[in-house]
A and B are shown apart, each in its own frame.
Chain A
Amino acid sequence: MLELFSYPPILRGFLVLMASGLSFPIAGVYLLRLNLLPLRFMLMHGALLGGAVALAFQLDPFFTTMLINLILVWFMMQAARGLKADAGNISIFIMVAAIGLAFTFISVFDVQAKDTLSLLWGSIFTISPLQTVGFVAISLFVILFQLLKRNQLKAVFFDSSIAYSSGVNERGIQYFVILLTALIVAVAMKLIGALLIDAVIILPALISSLHTKSMKSMIVWACIWGGIFSFSGFFIAYWLKIPTSSAIALIATLIFLIIFVQKKLKK
C-alpha cells in the first residue's frame, strides 16, 4: 500500500488530509460554540458564486472563491452588528443573495453550470504543490492561533461580557474567529468538497464535545479524532474503493454512534 505514496498527487493529498484533519476540527469547535452552523451553507453558495465569477472572467477558481467568501463573511458581520441581528439569520439572507447572483453570472456570461457545480466536489488528489503549501500553512496558523489565544478564546466562548470585564478584546477575537473559520471552511471545500465538509470540521468537534469536561480537552480531542478519521479514512477509501470523503464521514458516524450508545448505556 505504501507504494501509493510514490505518486506525488497521492502523497500531497495524504499530507493535506492529515494536516487539515489534525487542525481544522479546531474551527469546528469555534463553529459549534459560536452557533455558526448556517455559515457553512452561506459559504457553499458563496463558492458557487465564486466559481461562476471565476469561470466568467477566467480567474483562478480557488482564490476567487476564497476572496468572495471572505467578502460575504465581512458583510455578514457588519450587517449583524449594524442591525443587532443574529449572524446566522443574516447568513441565510446572504446565502440566497449569493445563489441569485451566481445564477445571474451563469446566465449573463453563458457559464456552464456543470463546471461551477463541480467546484462543490473537491478532490484531495487534484491539489497542486502550491496549494499543498497553502493548506499546511493554514493548518499551522490555526494551531498557532489556538495555542497563543487559548485563554482569550476560553473567555469569549464562556461569556462575552465576562470576557470583556476580564480585559479581553472580545469583539476583535470574535471577528477574527469568524473570519478564520470562514477561511477554513472555504479551504476544506476545495479539499473534500462542500457537501462532506462536516466530516472533517464539525463531526470531530461534535464527538469530542460528547465526552470531554474542559475546553482544553475538547480542542485536543477534536484534533485527535480529526487525525484518526483522516488517516483511517484515507486507507479505508483505498481498500473499499470509495471516495475518501465518504470514508471519513462513515468512520465519524460510526464513532459517534458508539459514543452515543455508550452514554445511553451508562445512564
Chain B
Amino acid sequence: MKHFVYICLIQHLTTVEKSLIVTQNNHEIFSSQSKWLYPLFELEDFIKAKQIEANNLFLTDKIAGKAAAYLIVRLGFKNIHIQLISEGAISVFNRFGVQFTYDELVPKIQCKTEDIVNGDEPVDAVWQMLRRRAGRVAGLIVDIRELSVEIDNKLVLSNLKLRIERGEHVFIKGLNGTGKTTLLKAILGLEKISSGSIQIGDYLVGSREWEKNRSIVGYVHQEMVKNTFPISAAEVVGIGFSAQKLSKAEKAHRLEISMRRTGCFHLANRSFHELSGGEKQRLNIARCLCQQARVMLFDEPTSFLDGSAKDELFVLLNEIWANEAPTAIIVSHDDQWIERFKWPVYELNEGKIC
C-alpha cells in the first residue's frame, strides 16, 4: 500500500505541467510550473545568476499576452514558441524583431495586464510596472493622508494628500520655503505631525511599531555634513546597519556589496572628509543600501554636485531603481536633471501638492 502511494506521488509530480521551458542546444536548462508572469521573473533570476545570454536560447511558453511579450523581449530572447498567444503579444514581438511560432491565436487573453499595457510603451517602463504588480520590488507604499505640520505656529504643510505605490519613484519640486524638506522630515518621523497621518507599508509613522522599524526609510539630506571629525568612508556606509543586530560576517558582506554596487569600494579606507561631492553622494546611497532601506528620501541630491557628478548620480539611481527598486521620493528644483528621469513630478505650493 505504502509503495503504491509513492508511485502515485511520483507519477503526479512528473505529470505536473510545466508552464515555461527554456532549452539550449535541445537540452532543457530551465523550467517552471508557476502561474501568471512568475515563471518569467524566475527565468530572469536564473539568467542573471548564470550570467548567460538569452539570444542563444529557445523559450517555450504556455500563454503569452502583451505583458509576457514585453518581459520576453526584455530578457533578450530571439526565438520562441507560444502555445496560446494574443494579438497584442504578436504586435510586441514584431515591434522588437522576435522570431516566434504559436499553436493558437486569440484576440486577447483573460488578464488585467492585457488592458493595462498598451503595446507602445518603453520596455523598461512596462517591466518596472509589472515587477511592482508582481510584488518583486523592495519598495513600500507611502500613503500620506490629510497631513498638516506646524512649525513655530506657522502651517507649513496643510491637508497634504499623496500616495506613492510600491517601488514607484517621484520628484517633488517647489519654491524655497514651500515645505519640501518638512515633508521629508515628517515622513522620517523627525518632524511632529499636527494632524493627518503617514503610513509606510504596514507602519504608521510615529507608532511604537514604526519606532522599532524606522530603518526601512533611508535618508540623504541636503546639507553636507559640516563636522570634520575623523570618519572613514566605510564607517559612513556602516552607519546604515548601526541599529541592526547582525553577525560580523553579515556586516562585512553587506558593507562590501553596497559599496561595490555604488562603485565606491575602493574608497573604503579613505577619510570621508577628503572625498568629492559626487563620491560622498555615492557613499550616502551605499549607506541606504546597507540599511536595506525600502523607501529612500533624497533632499536636493544635486545641490553640491558638478555636471559630471550629476550624470554619474543619474546612472547610479537608475541602476538602483532597476534592481533593488525601493520607493523613492526626491526633492529637487534642478529642472534639467529632473527631466532626464521622466518620473512623475509633483509640485508643492503653499503646503499642498498641486
Contacts and interface: CB of A to CB of B under 8 A. Distances in A.
Nearest to B293: A165
Contacts of B188: 161, 164-165
A139 to B, nearest CB: 23
Contacts of B217: 165
A241 interface: no
B310 interface: no
A214 B235 contact: yes
B231 A209 contact: no
A243 B148 CA distance: 63
Interface string A140-184: 000000000001101101110111111111000000000000000
Interface residues of B, number: 32
B221 A167 contact: no
A218 interface: yes
Interface string A190-217: 0000000000000000000100111111
B231 A154 contact: yes
A217 B190 contact: no
Contact of A213 (B230, B244, B287): B230
Nearest to A219: B230
A213 B241 contact: no
B269 A213 contact: yes
A154 B243 contact: no
B214 A215 contact: no
Interface in B218-272: 218-219, 221, 225, 227, 229-232, 234-236, 238-244, 269-271
A167 B203 CA distance: 14
A158 B284 CA distance: 12
A81 interface: no
Contacts of A161: 185, 188, 190, 219, 221
B270 to A, nearest CB: 7
A164 B217 CA distance: 10
Contact of B235 (A165, A166, A215): A215
A33 interface: yes
Contact of A167 (B225, B244, B269): B244
A116 B134 CA distance: 74
Contacts of B214: 164-165, 167
B242 A165 contact: no
Given A33-B227, A158-B236, A167-B214, A151 B271 contact: no
Residue from A165, A167, A209, A212 with most neighbouring chain B CB atoms (10 Å):
A165
Interface residues of A, number: 26
Contacts of B244: 167
B215 A167 contact: yes
B291 interface: yes
Contacts of B291: 166-167
A154 B238 contact: yes
Contacts of A168: 242-243
Nearest to A215: B231
A163 B221 contact: no
A157 B229 contact: yes
Contacts, number: 95
Nearest to B239: A155
B304 to A, nearest CB: 15
A158 B230 contact: no
A215 B287 CA distance: 17
Interface in B161-218: 185, 188-190, 213-215, 217-218
B242 A151 contact: yes
Contacts of A216: 232, 235
Contacts of A217: 230
A162 B288 CA distance: 10
B95 to A, nearest CB: 43
A131 B10 CA distance: 77
B14 to A, nearest CB: 48
A152 B219 contact: no
A165 B218 contact: yes
B225 A159 contact: yes
Contacts of B270: 213
B229 A209 contact: yes
Interface in A19-51: 32-33
Interface in A38-87: none
A107 B232 CA distance: 54
A214 B219 contact: no
Residue from A152, A157, A217, A218 with most neighbouring chain B CB atoms (10 Å):
A157
A205 B219 CA distance: 30
A155 B218 contact: no
Contact of B229 (A152, A166, A215): A215
Contacts of A218: 229-230
A158 B239 contact: yes
A213 B275 CA distance: 12
B219 A165 contact: yes
Contacts of A152: 242-243
Contacts of B213: 167
18 contacts: A33-B227, A151-B242, A154-B231, A155-B242, A159-B225, A162-B219, A162-B239, A162-B287, A164-B188, A164-B214, A165-B218, A166-B241, A166-B287, A168-B243, A212-B230, A214-B234, A214-B235, A214-B269
Interface of B: 185, 188-190, 213-215, 217-219, 221, 225, 227, 229-232, 234-236, 238-244, 269-271, 287, 291
Please list the 10 inter-chain residue pairs (A to B) with the smallest Cβ-Cβ separation, ordered nearest first.
A167-B215, A167-B243, A214-B232, A151-B242, A165-B219, A213-B271, A155-B242, A155-B239, A168-B243, A218-B230
Interface of A: 32-33, 151-152, 154-155, 157-159, 161-169, 209, 212-218
